Amino acid sequence: MIPGDGIGPEVTSAVLRVLEAAEAPVEWTTRHAGIAALEDGSPDVLPDETVDEVLRCGVALKGPCTTPVGKGFSSVNVQLRKRLNMYAAVRPVRSLNGVPTRFENVDLVIIRENTEGLYSGAENRVTDDVVISMKVATESSCKRISHWGFRYATQRARRKLTVFHKANIMKMSDGLFLDAAQQVHQREYPNIEFQQMIIDAGCMKLVQDPSQFDVLLLENLYGDVVSDLCAGLVGGLGVVPGANIGDECAVFEAVHGSAPDIAGKGVANPLALLMSAVMMLNYLAAERSDQRAAECAERIKAAYNRALEDNQKTRDLGGELGTESFADAVIERL
């Protein structure tokens, strides 16, 4: 468990209570990252012992970590993904009963390349008034995420995969990403429908009618931006979970950040992190044939769905419950 900072400690402790009440087959150890690591006395924002512990366990559940804007340390979230080579971020975006929004039956999965792109953080000052920011694309990483995306789509019986890109302008970097996806599709996954779209038009189509999309495959920055856009289609950042997955380990975290505007008030919605924990249990069930984890995931899912249907909601969803009282409502329904 990496509690994070801002609303992180609040939502992680609420989620832990639900998991304990559901008798999740998980033994926890806690390690820190970001501001919480500094406060814990570490000289590093991402201590080696945190990275090592995630590798030892193979999985982690993580709260959000603040990244200073325009100055200060580089994102620990990005560092963690890179150091552990968790190259695929997967973010299922689904409508929930009891959370009415503009669209019904939204069912999208965002797959984001998690290690390069404009997120390389490679920035240079060229002259006093010019900086450059490098967008990195490597053929092997583009192919790796394409394989991952098509394999995911196949395993989950999804019908279609769409790549959003800007290869008309970034002909080399986005061109490489698009070519890789096209090649992997043609050679290995011809049965999945493949579509490519320039990202600005794609965003317009997404907000007009999300049902025309299924699995979305994007490079790092586009995946970041489009994840929050899609969260807005189903009720906001309080209801969209995520996972960062590599070949050696996986870290489960919500799409949202540390929400400094509401931190410490006990009003944050713990559901996105709870859903991430459900993804973690399902991952354990699949990777380690742990039937108890699968059953536990189903129970928690049924309980939070029932809570929402009974109009037990936090403020971001138009309800009145706080972080802990929403967790109580879920626990009552386990």
Residues that bind ligand NAI (CB under 6 A): 7, 64-67, 77, 237-238, 253, 256-262, 268-269, 272, 316
Residue 237 CA: distances (Å) to CA of 23, 93, 111, 280, 317: 27, 10, 17, 19, 10
Q: Are strands 160-165 and 193-198 parallel, antiparallel or unpaired?
A: parallel
CB of 251 to ligand NAI, least distance (A): 9
CA distance 99 to 258: 23
Q: Within a 10 A sphere around the Cβ of 84, how many other Cβ atoms? A: 22
Determine whether 152 is an active site residue. no
The interface region with Mg ion, picked from 81-89, 130-138, 168-176, 218-226 by CB under 5 A, is: 218-226
- Smaller CB separation from ligand NAI, 34 or 158: 34
Any contact of residue 253 with Mg ion (CB under 5 A)?
A: no
Sign of CA dihedral 215, 102, 260, 274: negative
Residue keyed to tokens 């995630």:
54
Tell me whether residue 10 or residue 224 sits nearer to Mg ion (CB atom).
224
For residue 252, what is the DSSP state? Answer: E
Would residue 200 show up in a list of annotated catalytic residues for this protein?
A: yes
Residue 313 interacts with, from Mg ion, ligand NAI, none (CB under 5-8 Å by kind): none
Could you give the CA distance from residue 292 to residue 296 in angstroms, rounded to a whole number?
6
First to last CA, the chain: 22
Please tell me which residue in 128, 200, 209, 261 is annotated as part of the active site: 200
Of residues 220 and 258, the one with the C-beta less far from ligand NAI: 258
Q: Is 265 a catalytic residue?
A: no
- Catalytic site includes residue 166: yes
Nearer to ligand NAI, 70 or 208 (CB): 70
Q: Which residues contact 328 (CB under 8 A, 6 or more apart)?
A: none
Interface with Mg ion includes 224 (CB under 5 A)?
yes
| 173/314 with CB nearer ligand NAI | 314
DSSP string, 300-325: HHHHHHHHHHTT--BGGGT--B-HHH
Q: Closest CB to ligand NAI belongs to which residue?
A: 257
The one catalytic residue among 5, 82, 152, 166: 166
When CB distances are held under 5 to 8 angstroms depending on the partner's kind, the choice from Mg ion, ligand NAI, none that residue 77 binds is ligand NAI
Binding residues with Mg ion: total (CB under 5 A):
1
Given a contact cutoff of 8 angstroms between Cβ atoms, the answer to whether 199 and 165 are in contact is: yes
**Minimum distance between the CB of residue 289 and Mg ion, rounded to whole angstroms?**
33
- 219 lies in the binding site for Mg ion (CB under 5 A): no
- Upper half-sphere CA count for residue 313 (Cβ side, 13 Å): 19
Select from Mg ion, ligand NAI, none the partner in contact with residue 262, using the beta carbon and a kind-dependent cut-off of 5 to 8 Å: ligand NAI
Which residue lies nearer to ligand NAI by CB, 79 or 258? Answer: 258
Q: Of these residues, 119, 152, 189, 304, which one is catalytic?
A: 119
Catalytic residues: 119, 166, 200, 224
